[in-house]
Each structure stands twice: as C-alpha cells, then as structure tokens.
Chains A and B, each alone.
Chain A
C-alpha cells in the first residue's frame, strides 16, 4: 500500500506539466486539425511532433543536468550555454584541423569536447563544493567570460562545419526515418535512466539536497556529490553543444545556446522540482523542456506578434506557477474537502437543523 502511495506521489508531480502539455496540444489542434499529421519525405518523417522533438533536443539534455545540479547544490548553473559554446568550439577546431573527416574523427572530437566540458564543470564544481560559493555566483564567472573564450578558440571567425558526417548528425542519416538529434537525445536519456537505476546517484543527490549535514553524518560526502553533479552538468553541456553546432553547421560563439539557461531552469521548475534542492524528477524536467518547446511553437503558430511573444510566454509561466503554487494547491484541497463533507452530510444536517431550531426556540422561551 505505501508503495502505491509513493508511486502516486511521483505521478502527482507529473500531473501539472503533462496537463499543460496536453492543453497546449489541444490548442494546437483547434488551430488546425492536421497538427499530428506526419508525412514521409525522402524516407524521413516530418511533421509538428518530430519538429518539436528535434528542436528541444539540446534543451532536454541540459535540463537533465540542471535537475541534478539544482537538486544537490540547491542552486542553478547559469553558465551552461557558455560551457556548450566553449566545448563545441574545441570540437569544431579538432574536426577542422583533422586531415580527413571520418566517423572516428567526429567521435574523438566529441570525446575531447566532453573532457573540456568536464574540466569546465570542475571549475564551477570546485568553487561551489569546496569554496562554498553559491552556485549562481560561482557560475557567473564563466557566464561572463565564457563566450570570449569560445571566440578566442574560434579565431575570430565563425568556422563552418562543411563535412557530410556532421551534416548527417545535424539532420538525418540516410536510411533512418528519424532525425539524428532525436535519436541522440533518446540515447542520452536512456543512458541516464540506466545510470539512475543501477547506481545510488539519486539517493545521494537527494540526501545531500535535503540536508547536507545529515548526509555527511550518514557517511555521504556532500562536497563530492555536489562536485559530481557539476561534472555531469559539464558532460550534458558538451553533448548539447555538440548537437547544437552540428544542427547549425557553423560555430557562432556569440549566439550558440544563448540564454538557454533560463529555459533549462524553467524546465526544471515546470517539472514540479523545487529550485531549493532535494527530491527531483528527471521525467518531469524532460516533459517541462518539451512543454517549453511546444509553447514557443504554439505562440508562433497562433501568429502572435513576434515582438510580444516573450510577454505572452511570461503570462503563461505566471499562470502556470500560480496554479502549481503550494498555497493555491492547499486552498483547492481544502475547498474540495469542504465540498465533500457538505455533500456527504447533507441528509444528516437536514434532521439536525430541526433539532437545533427547536432547541433555540426553547431557550428563547426560557429567557422570556
């Protein structure tokens, strides 16, 4: 029985992002009934749903890392876009300097960029875990300086990735009907799910996020766990940067993954996770990330004035957060409870009322 309740708790956290996603899809359906239509062009699936999955791939990967950082460090990493820009700049330089571009070149370049991501994540992680700096302040440093580093690595121009393999990674591999970034995202999510299932990463991160001192007394080193989450964040940023640069086909150090940390933090919050650390739900964050992408595309589809899109997005977020806020939830639960008791005891009160009235009458008579 308690296990079922636990499952229900996990699920109730997902109700909000899921219902929002469904609501947005219904709005889209009203706008045009062919929303879910998927067409096959040259052996590849195209349509609104594949486009959403394609567009949100970097955001999903980053929001997974952000969920872990938020849960353990009780703060947010605001330098993820810059981390992605730097690591992908290194990847691009490696590929461009290679004499011949094969699948191995790309793979080695990707691994090097992952290492770069880990190093940068370690920079943030050391500040947060060993120097006890608040995460937002610690990551502010790379946020301010990161793009300049990427710019210097690029050598002042935006290099173009013009080889067939990275083109295939950015779009489609011939013979496979799904765009490659979608597959990469799915693989990444699967790897992450396996890690969370087989290791006690989740337990440690949640323990540290809920109470670092209690975790330390129980033999978990909170500093190491927080440091580890930042390393994972670095890998996530490197993967996101890899996908983004292959999608774009060129490395634009100024605009690559710009301000994506806002969306990633939003995805974490939409997924029902507390931004003050503790228990987390990666599924919620992933759904939140897709919801943001759907929201962006819905606003475009509804032909909202492009200048006003941000304002509409803001209003939507505010309404969503108000509905999800603990106070409103508690109030709604109370109201529901009251309704139940009223309807349940309707018949009894009818009888009681008469008794009360007669008692009151008798007391009035006595006073007289």
Chain B
C-alpha cells in the first residue's frame, strides 16, 4: 500500500485526471457566476436538484455516450433510441397489456437490441461507427413514427403513481414569502442516475473491461499487442451504450409521462457537448467517467443561466455555442501547454547510445 502511495505521488497527473479537474473547476466557476448573478433562484437547493429531476434521461444518455467515446467510437443513435423507447413503453402501458415491469423490460430489450446490432456491425464487421449509428438513428426514428404518431399520455394508474412519487428531504429546503417551509423534492429517477454513475465509474476504474476500454481507445494496435480482445471490448461498449439509452428512455417517460415524436431529439448532440465539457475526448482513451455528469451539469447550468438572464430566445443558442467554443479552446490550450512541457525528442536507441558516447568523448577530450 505504501508503495502504491509513493508511486502515486511521483507520477504526473494523467490526461484524464487533468481534464476532469478542469471540467470540475469550470462547473464550479459557472455555478459560482450563477450564484452571484441570480442568488435568489440558484441559492435554493431545489434548483440544483431540479437539474437532476428534469434531465435525468440526459444524464443517463451522456453516461452511455461517455463509455463509447472512451473506446474511441461514437453513437449518435442514443437520442432516437431514447425516443423510441418512450413511445413503445407508453403504448405498452396504454394498451393495458403490461405493467411497469413489462415496460421496463421492453425498454431494456429495445436498448439491448440496438446495442447488439451496433456492436456486432462495428466491432466484428469493422464498419465505421458514425455510419452504422446514423443508420440506427434513422431506424429508431422510422420505427417511432411507424408505431405511433400522435403524443400519447400514459394513464396507467401504477405508472402515474410512480411518476408522481417524490421523496422529500425534510431538513433541506426553503421558506417562501409566507413563511411556509417547502422541503426539497427528489424524484426516484435521480437515484437511478446516481446508481448508474457509481456502477459505471467503478466498472471503468476497476473492472477488466473498463481498463481494456481505455487501452483500446488510446491505441487499438498496441492494445491488440497486449493481448486484449479488441473486438469484444468494442462490442461490449456499444451494447452498454444501447442498454443505457434504453434505461434513459424509461427514465424520460418517468419524467414527462408521455410518448412523443420529439422525445430525446438532439440528445446525441447534447450528450457529445456535455462529454466534451466533461473532459472526455472524441479521439478516445482519455477522460474520466465522472466527467460525464459534471459536463452535463455544466451544460445545464449554462442553459439555466442564459434563460435566467432573459436573453432573447434565438440568442440563447449563439451564447451557448460561444461558451462551448471558450471551453474547447481552453481545453486545447491547456493540453497543448502540457504537451510542450513534456516534449522530448525521442531518438532510436542506437542513435542515443552514439550520442552518449560522443558526449563522453567530448568530456574526456576536455
């Protein structure tokens, strides 16, 4: 144990840790700005919890995308799969044929089916992930519009009870103007988010699959040389991403309570943006899984901040784009500075030996 500590103190921060720390600092700064400029709303704990309550599905989608991105791939079908799952589950619950458990299994099944398809085609047939997941996105959107077009409200009593169910935190809350104490509320979907974050973080940090995935994302060729089953690792990453998108769809339905064509649209773009803010690089092999929720929080804080500032609605997109630009440039500058610091000219060993000998000779000559 002591040995481990010593080695930790000596080794430089890995890129993943550095980017994660930057992401954390950015989030704290953004939240600090929000606290200073809009103290009334942002000082309430409920505002913070509402990020999770209202966007639980986005958090979960981002986690799945993070795993794929660490493996050096991309999955742009997650939003569409999420939308398809909400509609399918809503139809199942509305038709009266199934209860909540059946809906949950349907959600997992759809997610798993898409994940298996993507994983097999990308890992074993070596097709470009962008194209396959684009096809998956088209497929999910097509199926979504085929099974049902109009918005569908779920009126299943058990599901409505689950949807309305909130957990109150009695010791945390605010008193309103009338002096009535309002406790903070947490939805059950928040627990799903937290559980998944912990599960995935542990998996990526300590399981064989997680470590293999980092190796594969960093350099596929050298991972193969190390004896890692590259294809299986990539396959599993896509299966996990699909499964996560399925869970996200169910959570989305738990949040909104209706199946709709527009559900989960643009989630893939939001998830990529959130992951980039969280310090996970699209090129793979770099990034901490905990960066995904941090990045999502940053994204949501920025959106909330812009909304609270009362910026004109069409300027909102521009402002969030500019902020994204700022973060990306900041990240890239920090990475470039770091590279320059550690820059060493690597020469072949025989050449280096020659140099050493020459140096020695020069010394002796002196």
| Chain A residues close to B by CB (< 8 Å) | 75-76, 127, 131-134, 136-138, 140-149, 151-152, 262, 265-266, 269, 274-276, 305, 307-315, 317-318, 321-322, 324-328
Contacts and interface: CB of A to CB of B under 8 A. Distances in A.
Given A140-B276, A269-B131, A275-B131, 18 more contacts: A75-B282, A131-B336, A134-B282, A137-B272, A144-B320, A145-B319, A146-B321, A148-B317, A148-B318, A265-B130, A308-B142, A308-B145, A310-B142, A311-B142, A317-B134, A318-B121, A322-B125, A324-B127
B79 to A, nearest CB: 13
B300 interface: no
Given A315-B139, A327-B124, A266 B134 contact: yes
| Closest 7 pairs between A and B when the two form their complex, measured CB to CB | A311-B142, A145-B321, A310-B142, A314-B139, A314-B138, A307-B145, A148-B317
A318 B142 contact: no
Contacts of B281: 134
Contacts of A312: 142
A340 B142 CA distance: 43
B5 interface: no
Contacts of A76: 130
Interface stretch (B42-50, B323-331, B343-351): B323-331
A138 to B, nearest CB: 7
Nearest to A324: B127
B142 A313 contact: yes
Contact of B135 (A133, A152, A314): A314
A149 B315 CA distance: 8
Interface string B112-142: 0000010001001111101110111111011
Given A145-B322, A317-B138, A325-B125, A131 B328 contact: yes
Nearest to B315: A148
A131 B128 CA distance: 25
B22 interface: no
A328 B128 CA distance: 14
Given A137-B272, A138-B328, A327-B126, A314 B136 contact: yes
A262 B134 contact: yes
Interface in B247-289: 269, 272-273, 276, 281-283
Nearest to B328: A133
A69 B146 CA distance: 35
22 contacts: A133-B328, A133-B329, A134-B282, A137-B272, A141-B322, A141-B325, A145-B320, A145-B321, A148-B316, A149-B318, A262-B134, A266-B131, A269-B128, A275-B130, A305-B146, A309-B142, A310-B139, A315-B139, A317-B131, A321-B127, A321-B135, A325-B121
A307 B142 contact: yes
Contacts of A318: 117, 121, 132, 135, 139
Majority-rule SS of A interface residues? helix
B314 A151 contact: yes
Interface residues of B, number: 47
A275 B74 CA distance: 12
A258 to B, nearest CB: 12
A326 B126 contact: yes
Interface in B292-342: 314-322, 324-325, 328-329, 332-333, 335-336
A148 B136 CA distance: 28
A314 B76 CA distance: 13
Contact of A265 (B131, B146, B272, B332): B131
Given A132-B336, A134-B283, A141-B324, A325 B126 contact: yes
Contacts of B273: 140, 144
B149 interface: yes
B272 A140 contact: yes
Contacts of A311: 138-139, 141-143, 146
B125 A152 contact: no
B317 A145 contact: yes
B127 A325 contact: yes
Contacts of B325: 127, 141
B302 to A, nearest CB: 11
A152 B142 contact: no
A314 B142 contact: yes
A265 B314 contact: no
Contacts of B141: 310-311
Contact of B132 (A140, A151, A265, A321): A321
A274 B127 CA distance: 10
A265 B317 CA distance: 24
A298 B126 CA distance: 29
A136 B272 contact: yes
A317 B283 CA distance: 25
Interface in B150-203: none
B184 to A, nearest CB: 32
Contact of B314 (A152, A327, A328): A152
